[in-house]
Structures are given as structure tokens and as C-alpha cells.
Amino acid sequence: MSKLIIANWKSNHTLKSAHEWLNQVEKIFEQESSELKVILAPPFPLISGIAERIRAGTIELAVQDISPYGAGSYTGAVSTANLIGLPVEYVLIGHSERRRFFGEIDEMEADKVRVCLKADITPVLCLDKPYIKSQAEALKQAEVELPENKLIIVYEPLQAIGSGKNEDPAKVKSVVQEIKNLYGGVQILYGGSVNADNAADYLEFTDGVLVGTASLGADSFISLIKASG
Ligand code: PGA
């Protein structure tokens, strides 16, 4: 199975800079055959503006959040129904910035996993250590059935996110095992200050990496891809 590289742009980039980034990043896939799958998670307003070229290209699309509800009267929320017709195949759920700045909790994340699975979109559940067990319990409580290979979990230690202090790979390895024991047949990624210098260390024993800061500039992202391939 190809290793996944998820580029999480958070609240950065414009439509213009997104096209410029894609112009540069897509070129490296024309030049080299890669075993990697790149998944780009741009802010919502950029999705439809870049959807056409994503449809034709090698990069796949994710959104950074989703409403736990369906279509209806939920001002400001984007539902899976709004994504119909767009080439969005993944949704980030439960990122620590959602929990910290928007008050999201395990029960809400469980509902988001449920709506994604129902819409046949792959949930990418981000978990710091304290949430590994509690989130599994919330999913169980909410009776969310987790089909084999349809859930991606990213281990994201809070202190490593955006700090330049990536977690020791040996520690990550033991947490990956803990996640496997609890969640079974899922793909497990690492996220937190991943860059061109350290990505390969994590790819040795994970199914991929989630990259924030180093995904923003095309140059740093291309270096990361080259170091990971
Ligand atoms: P970072 O972000 O690569 O800037 O640490 C990671 C993340 O979004 O979790």
C-alpha cells in the first residue's frame, strides 16, 4: 500500500497561491514515479477552485473538518452533503486545534466519523495520547462501526505540533502499537513537526505522515516528498 503524505494547510493560502503550489508540486510527479500518495487538505473555499485539476491529477483532496450533522439549518457548518460532486475523499477529524480553539470533544468527533463513513468518505482521525482510549470509547458508545481499512488515525502529540520539536520516533513506535491494539485494522500516521529531515524516520514504521508547516511552501514540501520516496 502506498505511504500517505497529508498536507494540512490549516487557514493558510489563497486560490492563487494554491494554484502556484500545485504547479510546482505536480511537476515532481511527472518527473519521478513515486510510491507516495499525496493528500492535500486546503481551507474549504479553495476546494472547488482546484477541484478540476485534482480530478485529473495525482494528488487527492481532503477537507479539514466536517459538520457532525447532515444537510439542514446549521449556519456556518459544511456537511458531507455539500461535498457531493467534489473530488473530496478524506476528512480530517479531531485535530488538536479543533479541540483547543473550537471546543470539540470525543462525542462530537465520533459523530463526524459516522457521517463520513455513511457518505463513503475516509475519516482521518487525529489523536494525541490522552484521547486514544477515550475516543475509542466514544466511538463504541455512539455505536459507530469501524470497517477494516476505512479509517486512518494520525498520532499527533500536542507538544510536537507547529513547535519544530518532532516526537522521538521510538516513542511514536510504541504509541503506534498501542493504537493498533485498540483500533485494529486501521492505517496509522504520525504528525507533528514533520519535515524533509525527519519524514523517512517515521515512514519506516507508519503508513504515512501528516505535515503542517513544511507543507505550506512548495519548495519545502517537494524536499519532503523527495526525502520520503
Ligand atoms: P506541523 O503541523 O507539521 O506544523 O507540526 C502538524 C499538524 O497539523 O498536525
What pLDDT score was predicted for residue 137? 97
Task: Express the helix, strand and coil content of the chain in percent, nearest 5 each.
Answer: 45, 20, 35
| CA 6–ligand 1 middle distance (angstroms) | 10
| CA 179–ligand 1 middle distance (angstroms) | 20
* Listed residue (110, 113, 101) closest to 141, CA to CA: 110
Span 54-83, pLDDT tens digits? 877 779 999 999 999 999 999 999 999 999
Span 124-178, pLDDT tens digits? 999 999 999 999 999 999 999 888 889 999 999 999 999 999 999 999 999 999 9
Q: Which residues are catalytic?
A: 95, 156
- State yes or no: pLDDT of 100 exceeds 70: yes
Higher-scoring residue by pLDDT: 57, 188:
188
Q: What is the DSSP letter of 6?
A: E
| CA 71–ligand 1 middle distance (angstroms) | 30
Mutate to test the pocket of ligand 1, among 193, 224, 228 (most ligand atoms within 8 A of CB): 193
- Please report which helix (H) or strand (E) contains residue 101, including its range: helix 96-102
